[in-house]
Structure 1
Amino acid sequence: MAKVGLVDRTIADIRLYMRENHLLPGDAFPSEASLSETLGVSRAVAREALRALAALNIVEIGNGRRARVAAPDATALSMIVDHTVYTRQLSIQQVLDVRRTLEIRTVGLAALRRTDLQAQELQAIVEKMFTCIARPDDLMELDILFHEVIARASGNSLYSIIINSFRVITRQTWHIGWRSRASDENRRENIRCHERIAMAIIAQDAARAEAAMVEHFDSAAAVLIHAGVI
């Protein structure tokens, strides 16, 4: 128990070290020996603390180089969301409700803040979606990317992390929803809904973008209810 407490304290000390030394993503820590000496712990404890932070994607380790500050991503939050759904502490309906709330906001911001490059990326994704209608796995990945680009275009990196954290859950439910859209026309209409969202963002029409996103999530909820998922 003493070692666990020491590791926890060292984790906190490493995070404090990052802040006091103004370390940013990509910046390297001192060598393991130097860091352990600075923190007043053994190299084994320092190594275990760094590994724990690496599991949370706060630190990058490996390849024989010194540990570095990691860029923020959604991995840790995604694991939490997946775990709470798997253990039935959170339902798919609750996840969808949170996503709906967040994505109505992100799409409105994206319409106001998107760059020309992001607008072109959204348009290209929609065009690819139409060509992938017979390849559901590819289409699913494009669908996920579409929403992640919108989150990124919102200009708020926290929205991007949260939206990206839903990736695992989306991959678990997407094919169920796709099969529930039994006809080719129904499936094409789903892609056209993405197209309406993209066109509203490109036109920088926040109200139209939000309305299209509401339509999209209402449709997604309807097919999942029909499939008995929610």
Structure 2
Amino acid sequence: MHRDPLPQPFTRVSKPRLYEQLVTQILGYIESAHLGPGDLLPAERELAERLGVSRATLAQALVALEVLGVIDVQHGTGAVLVHRPSVASVIKGLSEHRNRLPDIVEARSTLEVKLAELAAERRTDAELAAIENALDVMKAEIDSGGKGARGDELFHQAVTAAAHSTVLAQLMTFIAEMILETRLESLGQPGRPAQSLASHRVITAAIRAQDPEAAKAAMLAHIVLVSDVALLK
């Protein structure tokens, strides 16, 4: 007697994360309000009240949308719509990003730790000044209420330049867009901008002292810090 093969077992359906639910609601609002590229979303306080969540919880959803390039959160202006994607494409994009996050962290801990070591060995006075200037830019951003993303980017670019390694610099350029995703996520965590700036200062002190081992250790500690992203856990 012929028997049909046993059916494949169902896979467990995971419960959507709260920020994913909020992302879906925000995208629904964008659609119903007929917002287009360049339009502003409501202020965070108003949006949080409409959704019935805290501003901290809303901030996670906004970071998720910023990571995927749906919005651009500008200090002093608010969240500006960049493009209107479908809900399905956004949820898929978030899932894909979660899956590749460990690989991004692995690449950063490999490349940037070596770059810090080389920068301590090879930096010029002018390159040290560029690193220190990036700290000033980041501090000014944070003091004015921003996340310090531009100063953070300048800092890592300056360390890369000070390492005088053409191939490593090319590899950093190759993963720059993925690093931007982790930068936005990390600096979106409460208290993280100030913590990141403090760890930048430790790295800078080691590079200033031309201490390669201390620079390596400081950069590794920094990568561990910024890779602790509660949003995607």
Instruction: State the TM bucket, normalised to the shorter chain.
Output: 0.5 to 0.7
1:87, CA displacement in angstroms?
10
Q: CA deviation at 1:130?
A: 0.9
- Using structure 1 for the length normalisation, give the TM-score: 0.55
SS in structure 1 at match of 2:232: coil
- SS of 1:132's partner is helix
Q: Work out whether residues 144 and 167 of structure 1, in 8 Å CA contact, stay in contact via their aligned partners in 2.
A: no
Question: Per the alignment, in what secondary structure is the counterpart of residue 95 of structure 1?
Answer: helix
Name stretches of at least 5 consecutive residues in structure 1 with no aligned partner: 1-84
One-letter amino acid matched to 2:219: M
| Distance in 2 between residues matched to 1:116 and 1:201, nearest whole Å | 11
Match of 2:141 in 1: 132
1:67-103 CA-to-partner distances (Å, cap 9, x unmatched) read xxxxxxxxxxxxxxxxxx9995971210110111111
Alpha-carbon separation, structure 1, partners of 2:214 and 2:159: 14
Correspondence for 2:223: 217
Which residue number in structure 1 is paired with residue 119 of structure 2?
110
Q: 2:231: which partner in 1?
A: 227
The whole-number CA distance in structure 2 between the counterparts of 1:175 and 1:211 is: 23
Kept in 1: contact 2:117–2:213 (CA 8 A): yes
Partner of 2:152: 143
The CA deviation at 1:142 is: 2.0
Aligned pairs for 1:35-46 within 5 A: none
Paired with 2:227 and 2:155, the residues of 1 have a C-alpha distance of 18
Q: Match for residue 34 of structure 1?
A: none
After TM superposition, give the deviation of residue 107 of structure 1 in Å: 0.5
Shift of 1:192: 0.9
How many angstroms apart in 2 are the aligned matches of 1:209 and 1:114? Answer: 12
Cα distance, 1:159 vs structure 2: 0.9
Normalising by structure 2, report the TM-score. Answer: 0.54
The alignment partner of 1:227 has SS state of: helix
Q: Distance in 1 between matches of 2:139 and 2:95?
A: 36
Matches within 5 A, 1:54-133: 88=96, 91-133=100-142
Equivalent residues in 2 for 1:14-53 (5 A)? none
Paired with 2:184 and 2:158, the residues of 1 have a C-alpha distance of 21
Q: Displacement of 1:166 after TM fit?
A: 2.4
- 2: distance between equivalents of 1:219 and 1:195? 14
CA gap of 1:119–1:108, structure 2 versus 1, over 3 A, is same
Aligned partner (choices 190, 196, 216) of residue 196 of structure 2: 190
Q: Is the 8 A contact 1:152 1:159 kept in 2?
A: no
Structure (1/2) with the larger helix percentage: 1
Matched-pair identity in %: 22
Alignment size in residue pairs: 138
Q: Does 1:205 align with 2:211?
A: yes
Change (3 A) 1:213 1:151: same
SS in 1 for 2:136: helix
Deviations 1:128-177 (A, max 9, x none): 211111223xx212212211221221111111111122221232332221
Give the aligned residue type for 1:109. L
- Asked if 2 retains the 8 angstrom alpha-carbon contact of 1:108 and 1:207, the reply is yes
Which residue pairs with 2:171 in the alignment? 162
**Whole-Å separation in 1 of the counterparts to 2:95 and 2:199:** 33
